[in-house]
Amino acid sequence: MKIALAQLNYHVGNFEYNTEKIISNISEAKKLGADIVVFAELAICGYPPRDFLEFNDFISQCESATQEIAKHCLGIAAIVGLPIKNDVLEGKDLYNAAYFMADGEVKAITRKALLPTYDVFDEYRYFEPNTLFKAIDFKGKRIALTICEDLWNINDNPLYVSCPMDELIKDSPDLMINIAASPFNYRHDEDRIKILSDNAKEYKLPLFYTNQVGAQTEIIFDGGSLVFNEEGELKAEMKYFEEDLQVFDLEDVIKRPSSQILSTERPNDIAQIHDALILGIKDYFQKSGFTKAVLGLSGGIDSAIVCALACRALGAENVMAVLMPSKYSSDHSIKDALDLVGNIDCKHEIIEIAQVADAFDQVMARPFKDLPFNLTEENIQARCRGIILMAMSNKFGYILLNTSNKSECAVGYGTLYGDMCGAIGVIGDVYKTQIFQLARYINKDGELIPEHTIIKPPSAELRPDQKDSDSLPDYDVLDQILFQHIELQLGSKAIIAKGFDESLVQRILKMVNLAEFKRYQTPPILRVSPKAFGMGRRMPIVGKYMA
């Protein structure tokens, strides 16, 4: 039996697009001699559809699309994920399901049993868990078909009380197929490989795993579909951050030595973050119907990174960098920004904000009663820049890219309606220490980001001789504490016990808590870490608890 894994980039709610893509890949897999072609979880509608699932018409269109796809399953079978109605009155109205289609019709239906509700997942909000399990017979082989999370309950701390494969193995299957929508984070690929390998070893069956690729707003899918033999050895690893279609012979997977299987080289963490952010930008624009981006280019490393990534994702001709020097901007910052523009060859404008900020000072002089310069005037400058960028967006149809990093987002080091505005947060899930690594990676084949931008002390340049270090701890220490608290979910006592200064830990965690109201008002942030701000981290604004 030959099995094709179709790793595709779907578009949520775009039924015509998804259907045409699936049908095209069925045809291609058939030409390649496949007996079955396997598509991803909820491939028909895209993942995650969220509250689209509450519209009856949305579910009806999923079913109509599947019936159209079934007509093309002649001489080849297909496995396709979609939401389907639950005909039983009790329970949720839908199942997260997969159709097994052959001979022009639906031959079998598999329903997902384990419904994740952690981090970015919220499946039990919509779906009823499956309780009936049956393998699928096809061409003399018996298939144990599962959907994503159904294979993730195989560890020392089970999240669920049941395990679908424990039921399916009773049908004596010959192989396992798992269809998934497994979101990317830079630590997830190794976890995914281990979990799937453990399943193959536990049940002594070869395993074929299909993931989707592409970005849906802030969630990015990296692909990396996998094949394992019955001993849990990784036999094939498909491309990352790209669509891919490959055909595997079941007998070869079982018999061929691992050394003879060609596998995609897995990039390191920073390379994965780089590729994920480019894919995230590209898909956000393409799937929203946008083509041109604008951003504020300060001469600092954060905006330089975003500019470079945007140019790689959209083409330099579609990126407008706006330099907005203030009376406190240094000459070298302007030069650094212009050097970057010269290296990348994107569009740019220079719009000085001193006159605009001075106008605000004059207008507010009476109500401010000659009080001294403080954070208020700094924020006014940042908001002047936000107004200019939004004016460029409105006038020319640019989409504004936010350039705040995760360290800043965490402690609230940013101005609402100023440097925190934008349509999509490009690096809001990348710590400042990772930003420096990302700059070096971008420059690995030649200097794009000016060296001076990378090595100079970070500064907002909103007052004379300002440095980030005036307000924040050293980023090397700050990011370690933030990682312990955000990604590892440790409280102050546990972090202090690791050797960090008590007063510093308490200060930083207090800043994180107090900045929650700002994060509620930021744009969606491209998710690249195990715990990103946004839908994966939900905290009350007015909560009293201090970890």
31 labelled as ligand-binding? Answer: no
Q: Spot the catalytic one: 2, 21, 30, 112.
A: 112
What does each C-alpha distance from 295 to 215, 444, 520, 546 come to in angstroms? Answer: 21, 24, 21, 35
C-alpha–C-alpha distance, residues 126 and 503, integer Å = 44
262 with 322, same domain: the answer is no
Which pTM does this prediction carry?
A: 0.95
Residue 252 and residue 277 in one domain: no
Q: Using CA atoms, how far apart are residues 2 and 145, in angstroms rounded to an integer?
A: 16
Say which residues have a Cβ less than 8 Å from residue 291's Cβ, sequence separation at least 6.
Answer: 285, 314, 318
Among 350, 349, 348, 342, smallest CA distance to 448 is for 342
In a domain, 498, yes or no: no
The three-state secondary structure class of 249 is strand
Last residue of a domain, one of 468, 495, 513: 468
Is 300 annotated as contributing to ligand binding?
yes
pLDDT tens sequence for the chain (547 residues): 999 999 999 999 999 999 999 999 999 999 999 999 999 999 999 999 999 999 999 999 999 999 999 999 999 999 999 999 999 999 999 999 999 999 999 999 999 999 999 999 999 999 999 999 999 999 999 999 999 999 999 887 788 988 999 999 999 999 999 999 999 999 999 999 999 999 999 999 999 999 999 999 999 999 999 999 999 999 999 999 999 999 999 999 987 665 555 555 778 999 999 999 999 999 999 999 999 999 999 999 999 999 999 999 999 999 999 999 988 877 788 999 999 999 999 999 999 999 999 999 999 999 999 899 999 999 999 999 999 999 999 999 999 999 999 999 999 999 999 999 999 999 999 999 999 999 999 999 999 999 999 999 877 666 677 777 777 899 999 999 999 999 999 999 999 999 999 999 999 999 999 999 999 999 999 999 999 999 999 999 988 787 7
- Establish whether the linkage from the previous residue to 116 is cis, with ω within 30° of 0: no
Would residue 527 count as lying in a domain? no
Q: Say whether 487 counts as a known binding-site residue.
A: no
Of 468, 501, 534, the position where a domain reaches its end is 468
- CATH code assigned at 149: 3.60.110.10
Instruction: Judge if 254 and 311 occupy the same domain.
Output: no
Q: Is 543 annotated as a binding residue?
A: no
Helix (H, G, I), strand (E, B) or coil at 96: strand
- Cα(19)–Cα(310) distance, integer angstroms: 29
- For 177-227, the three-class secondary structure string (H helix, E strand, C coil) is EEECCCECCCCHHHHHHHHHHHHHHHHCCCEEEECCEEEECCEEEEECCEE
Together in a domain, 169 and 280: no
H/E segment holding residue 62: helix 56-70
Is 461 an annotated catalytic residue? no
Active-site entry in 2, 21, 30, 41: 41
- 268 is an annotated ligand-binding site residue: no
296 known ligand binder: yes
| DSSP helix/strand/coil, 233 | coil
CB atoms inside a 10 Å sphere around CB 190: 10
Range of the domain at 302: 272-468
Is 73 a residue of the active site? no
- Is there a single domain that holds both residue 450 and residue 385? yes
Q: Find out whether 76 and 34 touch, Cβ atoms under 8 Å.
A: yes
Set 148, 307, 384, 421: catalytic member: 148
For residue 474, tell me if it sits in a domain. Answer: no
Q: CA 202 to CA 496: how far, in whole Å? A: 40
List of E strands, 238-392:
244-249, 293-296, 319-323, 347-350
- Residue 281 counted as domain residue: yes
Asked if 242 is an active-site residue, the reply is no
